[in-house]
Amino acid sequence: MKTHFDDIVDWLIATADEHRDLRSLTDKLVSRLREAGVAIQRINLGVFALHPEMAGYAVVWDEGMGDAIEVPVRREDTLKPLYLASPIRLLVESRKPAHFDMEDPRVGSQHPIIGEFREQGYTHYLGFPIPYGDDGIAVLTVCTKRPGGFSPEEVGGIEGLFPVLRLLIRIVETRRLAKTILQTYLGPHIGERVLAGEMLRGQGETVQAALWLCDLRGFTSMTSALGSFAIIDVMNQYFDCMAEAIWAQQGEILKFIGDAMLVVFRIRDETSAGDAARQAVCAAQDALQRLDDLSNLRVEEGLLPLRAGVAVHLGTVVYGNIGASRRLDFTVMGEAVNLVARIQDVTGETEEALLFSKEIAELLAETSESLGVYDLKGVSDPVELFKPAAGHGLP
């Protein structure tokens, strides 16, 4: 004879392709379990995920909420006492279920969170590890306030969901991992485009944008002085200074090229050429200030200073896929890209931290000061270059 739990398994299978994330899955699963008479008052579905900064995330619901919420778990969170003394850690490391009868005051004393749940009126805590994929691990915990806790039939019914739930978690996390990898290595905008299937070689579009190129000065000599591994930490700190300023102005990092970084501030319906120019120059000034602050701290510690040059130009580029048949890159191409690279060269020659083209200067009005006309390699006509006018901060 079929039980309510069998019906829930059938539902999970029938709706498998509808669950785009674990938050929506958790919301619907809670509703089904409560409709089946299971007195769940709290649920936590946590997943340890592959991510450059996060250890994972947890989806949490209790009956005082409308919908479940997703809570990020940073790597440093797994080193704090709250996690180290938690049942979650026990589940992850032992790979065995853990049940706590919170009506017995002697139970769970080694886990402070159990005492907190007991004070909130919970009577029973069930915890289950759910291994998935090759080495993935998820954890499901459920709590009730019902006197006597969960029945043996309910515990068995919940465990009976795991074969299907394990597959659903794997599907959702595989999709999430693909998105994380693409956004980490390609950026959020390009990552979404590739994930949506924009992968054909030669596929692209023509766009107008403010192009932004920075370069760390003295990189070669610094690498020789510090060594290849030590320079990695320096580069990460340097790129953090640049990137935070860029993201603050809605810029899009296209690629890291050694010690250089190529960025676009796209002109769209809601972003005029003037807006893009101001965003790019604001980002450059902010980034250089952040780097200067970092450099001063380094000098105080007896380390080498950090200096960079930033070039900005406004132009039209082709934005899309190029490369070999089995190895593609999503980037920008065009005369404007060559010009911003040549302007960047001049920042080193002149020791100016920030230079930009006439196309940018015309949009910044009195906040620009001409540095003169330069013959640039690969550029047919002389180019007038500008820098921020003395006494002017962010335009």
What pLDDT does 182 receive? 74
Q: Name the pTM for this structure.
A: 0.72
SS3 percent helix, strand, coil of the chain, rounded to 5, is 45, 30, 25
196-231 per-residue burial string, b: 16 or more CB within 10 A, e: under 16: eeeeeeeebeebbbbbbbbbbbebeebbeeeeeeeb
User: Hunting for tokens 């479940």 — which residue is that?
Assistant: 68
In the chain (395 residues long), the average pLDDT of successive 10-residue segments reads 85 87 91 93 89 82 90 88 92 94 91 93 95 88 96 93 91 81 72 68 82 92 85 92 95 91 92 93 96 95 93 90 79 88 93 94 85 87 88 52
**Residue 245 has which token pair?**
């300023």
**What is d(CA 359, CA 274) in angstroms, rounded to the nearest whole number?**
10
Task: Give me the domains of the chain, ranges plus CATH numbers.
Answer: 4-184 (3.30.450.40), 199-388 (3.30.70.1230)
DSSP result, 186-222: H-HHHHHHHHTT---TT-EEEEEEEEEEEEETTHHHH
Torsion of Cα atoms, 164 then 20 then 169 then 187, to 10°: 160
Q: What's the pLDDT score for residue 344?
A: 94
What local confidence, expressed as pLDDT, does residue 394 receive? Answer: 46
Pairwise CA distance, residues 60 & 182, whole Å? 27
Quick one: pLDDT at residue 129?
A: 95
Instruction: With CA atoms as reference, report the closest residue to 146 among 82, 101, 81.
Output: 101
The DSSP line for 102-114 is TTSTTTTTT-HHH
Angle in degrees, CA 196, 199, 203, rounded to 5: 110
